[in-house]
């Protein structure tokens, strides 16, 4: 499987992870800053949360880790949390903005 195919599977998996308080997935919310596929099968995801004090931060991070590890062809998965730059509504996809009534 190519790096591009694995990246597509990673994006698909991330679209199944939701913040319980927001009815939009973390990918379309703009919480995923970087997806790096190395050596074809090692995945590194850099992401953030809507707020540093997010009460479900551990749950979201755990779910992301589990879903990455479950992707066929992924040998190693690493999720890094960052708050630089801080998340804001402008990072959301147009679809997410529409769904949440921001457009």
Rounded distance between C-alpha atoms, residue 28 and residue 76, angstroms: 24
Q: Where are the domains of the chain?
A: 3-88
Cβ proximity of 41 and 76 under 8 Å: yes
Q: What angle do CA 82, 67, 102 make, to 5 degrees?
A: 60
Rounded distance between C-alpha atoms, residue 26 and residue 92, angstroms: 9
Closest Cα partner for 57 from 66, 67, 47?
Answer: 47
The CATH superfamily label for domain 3-88 reads Fe-S cluster assembly (FSCA) (3.30.300.130)
pLDDT in tens, 48-88: 999 888 888 999 999 999 999 999 999 999 999 999 999 99
pLDDT for 19 equals 84
pLDDT for 5 equals 93
pLDDT in tens, 87-100: 999 999 999 999 99
Confidence of residue 21 (pLDDT cuts 50, 70, 90): confident
The pTM of the full predicted model, rounded to 2 decimals, is 0.92
Cβ proximity of 54 and 86 under 8 Å: no
Question: At residue 102, does pLDDT exceed 90?
Answer: no
Name the burial class of residue 81, with classes exposed (0-12), middle (13-18) and buried (19+) by CB atoms within 10 angstroms of its CB.
middle
Question: At residue 14, does pLDDT exceed 80?
Answer: yes
pLDDT for 39 equals 86
């Amino acid at each position: 499987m190519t790096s591009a195919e694995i990246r597509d599977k990673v994006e698909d998996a991330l679209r199944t992870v939701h913040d319980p308080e927001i009815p939009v997935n973390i990918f379309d919310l703009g919480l995923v800053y970087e997806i790096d596929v190395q050596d074809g099968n090692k995945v590194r995801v850099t992401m953030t949360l809507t707020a540093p004090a997010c009460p479900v931060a551990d749950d979201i991070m755990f779910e992301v880790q589990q879903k990455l590890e479950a992707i066929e062809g992924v040998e190693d998965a690493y999720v890094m949390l960052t708050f630089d730059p801080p998340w804001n509504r402008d990072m959301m996809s147009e679809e997410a903005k529409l769904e949440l009534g921001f457009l």
